[in-house]
Structure 1
Amino acid sequence: MQDPNLIRNFCIIAHIDHGKSTIADRLIEFTGALSLREMSAQVLDNMDIEKERGITIKAQTAAMQYKAKDGKVYLLNLIDTPGHVDFSYEVARSLQACEGALLVVDAAQGVEAQTVANVYLAVEANLEIIPVLNKIDLPSADIDGTMLQIEEELGIDTTNVVKASAKAGIGIEEILEAIVKHIPPPKDAQAEPLRALIFDSWFDAYLGAVSLVRVMTGEVKKGMRMKMMSTGNDFEVLKVAKLTPKLVEVSTLSCGMVGVVSGSIKTVRDTKVGDTITSATRPAPTALAGFQDAKQMVFGGIFPVESSEYTNLKDSLEKLLMNDASLTMEPESSQALGFGYRVGFLGLLHMDIIQERL
């Protein structure tokens, strides 16, 4: 069993293009979680569209073993969150699964809009924030100016700021040491009934609906019955694993750990982001706070070019619905365009991405 005092759960928050995914790559490389042969640039962005646009859409995690300078081996769980405003509900849930955050700021561009928005979310979730100045090797980097900005605009103390350049590999070990030193371990609640927070879910052709969870209290064991607290449905746990970003099967996830749980669940609608998983035989009295259904902000009509393609469109949309619980769709018909669907999205970027994935 993993000692909770040697676990650190953290995420990286940053404005778009400030080098978040590159820092994640360097940390994974430094701790040897993936061999060099398996490394690819932006290793956590595993959808092609994420790499192409250079953005992170779904939350991903990586479990890394790190031997610190004090001689102990720590389990570091990096939870990679989306940085774009359309996905802010996913960000808020991912932050709930952490105890600390690395705030990455580009030394050449300074603090930007999305940095501020994400810092507010992190402060609301009571996270310990470690500022990291990235790209310090650029000729246009203004280190002192950016540090002043962090103090004045965000009100964050920069005495333990880490100066780094992910591209050149500067300051990576210092970041790891700062995580071990400043981020608090999860609280030990192994004896209490199970409560696990779902902060992402997706559909797998072999496993069904898979949930990415952070165990807050108790433990998840393979073979037990789990129950979703928002719907009351219960399922058998068939697979428990941790991501190092690749799946590694384990028999239990103990308190404080982050990993993947799947059962015989047919649709992602049953594993909503923000929901609490508990044990069906010994349920927890209350769910974890903060669960809400996703709100759609942008609606668009999607129609096939030829009416014979209607069933294809329907199948494709249903597949996307299996993977993305924040989409809604209802049939719609118009005299000019024929039959199609009216689809609800979180925002314009979300709509763009769905169009491309269709």
Structure 2
Amino acid sequence: QELEAAFPELKTPDSPTQRVSSDLTEDFPTVEHLTPMLSLDNSYNEADLVDFDQRIRNYLDLPEDYIIEYCVEPKYDGGSIGLIYENDLFVRGATRGDGYRGEEITPNLRTLHSIPLRAAFSRRGIAKVEIRGEAIMRKDIFEKINKAREEDGLPLFANPRNAATGGLRTKDPNETAERKLDAIIYHIGYAVDQQGNNLLPKLGTHSAAIDFLNELGFIVPIHNENFPERTIFHNINDIVDHCQEWQDHRDDYPYEIDGMVIKVNDIALQNRLGSTAHHPRWAIAFKFKAKQATTKLIKVEFQVGKTGVITPVAKLEPVQLAGVTISSVSLHNEDFIRNKDIRLGDTVLVERAGDVIPYIVKPM
């Protein structure tokens, strides 16, 4: 900083001093994505995945013996982001928003050291590119931050996802930096040369595109034998066992994930399949089952909201569920309690719906 202050001509857009801005952001302007950041269709079992495979074959009029190559990766549970690079420089970052427009949060994303301020896309002749990923907090970082907040008497974050998404929209980029977020990149949605020609087909496959991003210094789902975050399959039936294995060991993974994403690997086939207004036809999410645990209802406390609404809150014997200690769960209202016949001293079944919000399913 002292050197750049003395010699301003040495300051460059990718300088480490440009990561954290001293300016506060009063609002986040709405910007359009270069291509839509759509949602994913969901699947929950083998039959759903077989149906997905058949829909692809029907849409493309492929014979039954045609081998479709699929790429399978974790479905990260954080805040979706879109990053634009022009002439190798990071120029804009935005939230997913409604899929077509999001909020520009470039100053905050610059604080993430996993987002290179310069990346050599020009190696492949790419002049402008939009890549997609997830801003996400490691579980161990989440625990440390919550412990520090508890010691300071501050409200605790409910889960890593809330901590990450909230960190993306802080008015002070220094606060974003303190969250120690990672950006995991999993898709190239737009890539053109200086003349505006589409270069995505030249990347060949989705997996090859992700390998290229890895070469450029981005964190991506790694494809290797020792720990295959990204795995290639040639038979849709083999994918279910793989997804189940990830579901069984998800607590061992350093990040929160709520499923797996199955993508047609061939970019040419992706282009032929296209998208609906809601989701790409060439990808689907395999959603993990909600996690459940049993514990004892000790007492009920009542919280008064700002508008005067009184909400009963169940105080439980602390129980570990999906990597988080659950000790309080909303009982919503009197009807909820009566309909489920919840009583003091009950052993109750607790579920984290969507792995985020604790919920009492029923007394046991």
Q: Scaled by the length of structure 1, what TM-score is found? A: 0.27
* Greater radius of gyration (CA): 2
Q: Scaled by the length of structure 2, what TM-score is found? A: 0.27
Q: 1 or 2 for the larger relative contact order (CA 8 Å, sep ≥6)?
A: 2
